Amino acid sequence: MSSISPLSLVHILLGLAAVIVGLVIFGLRKGDPRHRTLGWIYVACLLTSLVGILVRGRAHPTPFHAYAAVMMGCLVTAVLSSRLRTRMSDWRSWHAVLMSFSMVGCAVAIGGVIGGVLIGVGRGPEYYRMFNLVIAGVTAIGLALITTRPIIWRPLPAERRRRVRLWFGGLAATVSVALIVAQYALP
């Protein structure tokens, strides 16, 4: 059995911490001091976890490393949207959907690990077929939950709400489909 590298351990532990904190945040009133404090903890844990996986994968990058980079971009953009609130009328919705999408990315990663353990394989065609099903399923469920959460969409007028939903849905679907397609080329 191979040992886990310190970088992989950082990635796993901080990713797990981010998921736990993220789930707690979903139950909090948005914008209160606990939400903001836990939000910064979530961002710090997830960014560090993503940096860990990207550094670990720089020698042998896979499509999942590109997915991690996109998740990092979503997370940074979510934070920037809240920082630029005076310049973005729909900042709340973008902040919420991008943060929620980062949780979808966490669920995809966890699903891939659990699926790999269940089938007893960590790479190769069998693993990637299973992982592609996880990506498609988790993304579909995540998009269904995100696009129907009133707290995300309520502040927007109907016309803008529809436009932001379309942009976000297109982004999320494109990223997930690109990852699935890219993994078919893997041995």
Q: Which domain holds residue 87?
A: 6-183
Mean pLDDT over each residue of the chain, to the nearest integer: 87
Question: Taking residues 15-43, what's their average pLDDT?
Answer: 90
| Six token digits for residue 176 | 């997930």
Q: Which residue in the block uniquely carries the two structure tokens 């299973």?
A: 130
Query: 7 or 20: whose pLDDT is higher?
Result: 20
Confidence grade of residue 155 (pLDDT, cut at 50, 70, 90): low
Confidence grade of residue 1 (pLDDT, cut at 50, 70, 90): very low
Q: What is the pTM of this model?
A: 0.84
| Six token digits for residue 162 | 């529809």
Number of domains in the chain: 1
DSSP secondary structure of 98-157:
HHHHHHHHHHHHHHHHHHHHHHT-SSSHHHHHHHHHHHHHHHHHHHHHHHH-HHHHTTS-
Give residue-wise pLDDT tens across range 64-89: 899 999 999 999 999 999 898 888 87
- 1 assigned to some structural domain: no
Determine the residue type at 140. Answer: A
- 179 assigned to some structural domain: yes
- Rounded Cα distance, 112 and 183, in Å: 13
- 74 assigned to some structural domain: yes
- 167 assigned to some structural domain: yes
Query: What does the pLDDT read at residue 3?
Result: 64
- 58 assigned to some structural domain: yes
